[in-house]
């Protein structure tokens, strides 16, 4: 999904701090 990709990008940019690191790293 594009949403998940955007979330990963925003998280890496430091925009989203709500998502756990494990979830993000799991997607990436």
**Which residue ranges make up each domain of the chain?**
1-28
Check: CB of residue 10 under 8 Å from CB of residue 16.
yes
* Residues 19 and 11 sit within 8 Å (Cβ to Cβ): yes
At 11, list the tokens: 């998280």
pLDDT tens per residue, range 1-28? 787 787 777 776 665 555 565 565 555 5
Reduced to 3 states (helix: H, G, I; strand: E, B; else coil), residue 19 is coil
Query: Model pTM greater than 0.75?
Result: no
């Amino acid at each position: 999904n594009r949403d998940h990709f955007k979330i990963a990008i925003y998280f890496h940019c430091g925009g989203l701090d709500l998502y756990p690191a494990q979830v993000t790293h799991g997607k990436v």
